[in-house]
Amino acid sequence: MSQIRFYLTLFIVKSVIRFMKLLGFNATDTPGRIALILCPDIIGRIKLPNTVLAVTGTNGKTSTNNILSQVLRNSGYSVIDNAFGGNINSGIASCLIQHCDLKGVCDYDFACLEIDERSAGKIFPYLTPDYLICTNLQRDSMMRNANVEFIFSILDKYLPASTRLILNGDELNCCQLGKGRNKSRTFFRVDLQKDEVCRDNIIKDVTVCLECGSDIRWDFVRNHAIGQGHCVNCDFGSPECKYIMRRREDNKLFIETEGIVKQYPLVGFRIVDYYNQTAVVSLLKEVGLTDEVISAGLENTIIPKSRFEEFNINGKKIISILSKGMNAIAVSSSFDVIEKDKTKKSVLLFLDDARDAVKSSELISWIYDVDYEFLNDENIRQIIIGGKRSIDHKVRMLMADIEAEKISTSINVLNMVEHLDVKEIETIYLLFDVYNVPEYKRVSEKVKQLCQREVA
């Protein structure tokens, strides 16, 4: 009976997907939701690709999974992934159903699945990844994720013991995953780079030893407790790492594996990109791919444009960064990138959660976890804040001692560009939230037009 239900569900949901595509919709969550209602254990019934790779973590999982699937495809493997955006159980179900045949077989070499850490309990009972990367476990939207310990407890509870873990050795929370249970736990880290400026962020998710509560002695903290540290009292601390990103030279990344350093084509120039790429290289080497295959795969790999986009209009740079509102660490990281750019800059911020604005009134607490102090930079000539919460952001900026004359607010996001003066400006940054993409596109277009007019 349950088999009949399974095949019937596959047939119905595949038809739904086809119909949605005919109408021009992306088959993201909805087909999966229908499938889970009709056949709740459908994820466990589909025959998965030969090797299942998963990526989870608070920040960087989308980019990492994207790099991973691109490298494998570039290397000639058949790959399925959930890059269209569904990383909870319904998104995973949609992805698998879309790529399996009517017998429920996903005949591919690899599945590269981005998995929402909060959804571990709804996915891992049905799907056991062969390998799983955890990029980090950090503070996120408090309404959804409460606190890091809470997310850790969910993920750790449901992680299958047989999954081989690839963990960020520079992040002490995620290093504890599978401890004493998962047989294979491999760590990677990124060395402190020459001339790298470490930031003292407002929030650090590891402030004392997670075992005994004593102080941590840090060798270095890159940002937000990402770094190398050890308890002053017990043996708790950063683990021995098998894969170490040593340095970057031009467009090459040098990663050491058990004493041997190899170079790989560089995917992105930010420290977070080094982490994502090192995670991917570590995993693929664990899977058994050679350095040559990995390097060839990385050659044409790019960071998804929806995350980081750069345009050059007659000498003026427009840089867009998806900054995940309500996620203080992601936004602070974007501010860090802006601060390190020494050109004359304008910054347009629109980080309100559009969905939340409709259903509720957006929580603004997180903006006091964000390092607005990074924007107190003489090279920033203008900061334009858009959205309903723009006054709250302005108050926070003033508390960071940013000059009031530099700050403009616009409740209507689309009117932000009216405040923008690009005359003396070399770079314009657009920071937007994951739920503001349509507005971002319109604002971005207006900024481009303004730059074109200015030059003309």
Partner 1 sequence: MIIEILYPSSCNLFGDRGNVLYLKRNLPEAAFIETGLNDEPYFVKNEVDLIYLGPMSEAMQMKVRDRLTPFKERIKHLIDSDVFFLLTGNAVEVFGKEVVDKDGSVFKGLGLLDINCQRDMFKRKNNLFKGKFEDIAVVGFQSQFTVTESREKGLFKKIYGLGLNLLSNYEGVRKNNLFATYLIGPILVLNPYFTKKLLSLLKVDKETLYLEDEVIKAYRMRVEDFDRVARKQRLS
Chain residues in the site for partner 1 (CB under 8 A): 139, 142-143, 146-150, 153, 202-204, 207-208, 213-215, 328, 359-361, 363-369, 388, 391-392, 394-396, 398-399
Output the smallest distance, CB 341 to partner 1, in A. Answer: 26
Output the smallest distance, CB 188 to partner 1, in A. Answer: 26
Output the smallest distance, CB 410 to partner 1, in A. Answer: 14
Phi, psi (deg, nearest 5) at residue 399: -70, -20
Q: 6 or 152: whose CB is closer to partner 1?
A: 152
Q: 215 or 249: whose CB is closer to partner 1?
A: 215
Output the smallest distance, CB 454 to partner 1, in A. Answer: 31
Output the smallest distance, CB 333 to partner 1, in A. Answer: 17
Sequence-ordered list of residues with C-beta below 8 angstroms from that of 360, at least 6 positions apart, any chain: none
Q: 235 or 401: whose CB is closer to partner 1?
A: 401
Q: 148 or 303: whose CB is closer to partner 1?
A: 148
- 106, 46 in Cβ contact below 8 A? yes
Q: 99 or 224: whose CB is closer to partner 1?
A: 224
Phi, psi (deg, nearest 5) at residue 62: -65, -50
Output the smallest distance, CB 420 to partner 1, in A. Answer: 22
Q: SS3 for the chain, per residue?
A: CHHHHHHHHHHHHHHHHHHHHHCCCCCCCHHHHHHHHHCCCHHHHCECCCEEEEEECCCCHHHHHHHHHHHHHHCCCCEEECCCCCCCHHHHHHHHHHHCCCCCECCCCEEEEECCHHHHHHHCCCCCCCEEEECCCCCCCHHHHCCHHHHHHHHHHHCCCCCEEEEECCECCHHHCCCCCCCCEEEEEECCCCCCCCCCCCCCCCCECCCCCCEEEEEEEEECCEEEEEECCCCCECCCCCEEEEEEECCEEEEEECCEEEEEECCCCCHHHHHHHHHHHHHHHHHCCCHHHHHHHHHCCCCCCCCEEEEEECCEEEEEEECCCCCHHHHHHHHHHHHHCCCCEEEEEECCCHHHHHHCCCCCHHHHCCCHHHHCCCCEEEEEEECCCHHHHHHHHHHCCCCHHHEEEECCHHHHHHHCCCCCCCEEEEEECCCCHHHHHHHHHHHHHHHHHHHC
Q: How many CB atoms lie within 10 A of CB 428?
A: 26
Output the smallest distance, CB 381 to partner 1, in A. Answer: 21
Q: 139 or 189: whose CB is closer to partner 1?
A: 139
Q: 196 or 215: whose CB is closer to partner 1?
A: 215
Output the smallest distance, CB 113 to partner 1, in A. Answer: 24
Q: 202 or 296: whose CB is closer to partner 1?
A: 202
Q: 312 or 360: whose CB is closer to partner 1?
A: 360
Output the smallest distance, CB 153 to partner 1, in A. Answer: 8
Q: 73 or 118: whose CB is closer to partner 1?
A: 118
Output the smallest distance, CB 202 to partner 1, in A. Answer: 6
Q: 16 or 142: whose CB is closer to partner 1?
A: 142
CA-to-CA separations, 37 to 90, 91, 203, in angstroms, rounded: 10, 13, 40
Output the smallest distance, CB 393 to partner 1, in A. Answer: 9
